[in-house]
């Protein structure tokens, strides 16, 4: 059943014309759906989540990006889903991915949004 809606959820979560609150719920549903079904490779959806919450990383000049509360909530949902799915990786692969992203994720601790800071913590 999840396979039937997976592509629709990915399309919605990556479509900037969709309301951020809807995209946030789709990100949560995607993460939970992949976690429960463990449906094949999760690399592509992990990349989708990274591209979403990555918009809250510090800018090239070190400035903190400014987002609406709704967009920050979307970023937090994507990060929560990413970290949930990280638990499905083999331990050595999870460690490599976590180490490669740790510096960037710690940048999110400077976010003005408390939910995003909690998700990054």
Give pTM, 2 decimals.
0.90
Which among 67, 51, 68, 32 is positioned nearest to 104, based on CA atoms?
A: 51
Q: Which helix (H) or strand (E) segment is 94 a member of?
A: helix 91-107
Rg (CA), the chain: 14
State pLDDT tens for residues 3-15: 889 999 999 999 9
Helix and strand counts by DSSP (H, E) for the chain = 6, 0
pLDDT band at 62 (very low <50, low <70, confident <90, very high): confident
In the predicted model, what is the mean pLDDT of residues 61-90? 94
pLDDT of residue 39 exceeding 80: no
Percent residues over pLDDT 70 in the chain: 99
Whole-number pLDDT of residue 121: 85
SS3 state at 62: coil
Whole-number pLDDT of residue 21: 97
Whole-number pLDDT of residue 56: 93
Domain boundaries defined on the chain:
2-120
In the predicted model, what is the mean pLDDT of residues 70-75? 96
Whole-number pLDDT of residue 4: 87
């Amino acid at each position: 059943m999840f396979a039937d809606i997976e592509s629709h959820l990915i399309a919605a979560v990556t479509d900037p014309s969709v309301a951020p609150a809807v995209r946030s719920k789709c990100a949560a549903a995607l993460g939970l759906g992949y976690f429960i079904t463990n449906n094949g490779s999760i690399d592509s959806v992990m990349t989708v989540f990274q591209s979403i919450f990555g918009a809250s990383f510090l800018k090239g000049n070190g400035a903190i990006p400014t987002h609406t509360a709704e967009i920050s909530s979307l970023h937090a949902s994507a990060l929560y889903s990413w970290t949930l799915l990280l638990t499905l990786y083999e331990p050595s692969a999870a460690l490599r991915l976590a180490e490669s992203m740790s510096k960037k994720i710690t940048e999110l601790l400077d976010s003005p949004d408390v939910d995003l800071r909690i998700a990054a913590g």
